[in-house]
Amino acid sequence: MSARRPEITLLYRDDDVVVAAKPSGLLVHRGWGDDEVVAMTLVRDLVGRHVHPVHRLDRATSGALVFALHPEAARALSAAWEAGAVAKRYVALVRGLAPERGVVDHPVPRAEGGPRVPAVTWFRRLVALDGPYSVVEAEPKTGRLHQIRRHMKHLSHPLIGDVNYGKGDHNRLFRERWGLHRLALHASAIALPHPRTGARLAVSAPPPADLSEPFDRLGVPAFVWDAEPWFDGLGTRGIGVAEANGGEGGLGRLASEPPER
């Protein structure tokens, strides 16, 4: 009996870009493994045309995943990422009582076994749970391999369900008591300049059941999934918008300090 084919849904689509809700356990494309089914081919089949990946999500992470629908859009989106004009919001469950907010500025490898490169993550605690454990909102300012996972481990607050950087006894506890069988990390929202118009495209990704249901059993309030306050905060920082003239330096840079919200 063959394994059930993973399912993927579309959160947004127009003539230039598509945003999909990637489930946990699914690779983005075959260049990162030998999986027969990957997010890129599932999205291609849904839209009926070739798609271009412009960023990555770890296999174990769920959430908003962006593809370009033609080479020109792919170039514009890649330029936006390079310019720091894309913002991403993640929700994570971590061990311990995390600080109320902070910035992790700690180099991590760009690729497995590679040299360390600068990496910065903003975070704030959303909920404190008995244990103690914490639900945090994380906003990576750079896109390094396992960046949020490595940075929270650096703070001694590793993610629950993380088999690489976490603790097996905590992971087992959450599997057995609350039914959490995956990495507790979800890319809940993304904001970027549209590749054609430069206007801000803001897309949120509802949590999948394999994460939202354990969170419900833990008593985590539903507001942690609400990205609207985060989107509102981006508006004051000029994030996810390209200048109308499209000239050199037109893509806004990210601020260097965490916002107060």
Q: Which residue has the tokens 């609207």?
A: 228
* Domain harbouring 166, CATH code: 3.30.2350.10
Give me the mean pLDDT over the 56-82 stretch: 96
* pTM for the full predicted model: 0.89
Tokens standing for residue 32: 């990162």
* pLDDT tens digits for range 181-227: 999 999 999 999 999 999 999 999 999 999 999 999 999 999 999 99
Number of domains in the chain: 1
Domain span at residue 22 reads 9-237
70 occurs within a structural domain: yes
As a dihedral over the C-alpha atoms of residue 25, residue 211, residue 209, residue 231, rounded to 10 degrees, the angle is -100
Q: What is the mean pLDDT of the chain?
A: 88
Distance CA 15, CA 155 (A): 42
Q: Is 58 a catalytic residue?
A: yes
1 occurs within a structural domain: no
Catalytic residue among 45, 58, 130, 162, which? 58
- Give how far Cα 93 sits from Cα of 172, 211, 218, 225, Å: 14, 10, 11, 12
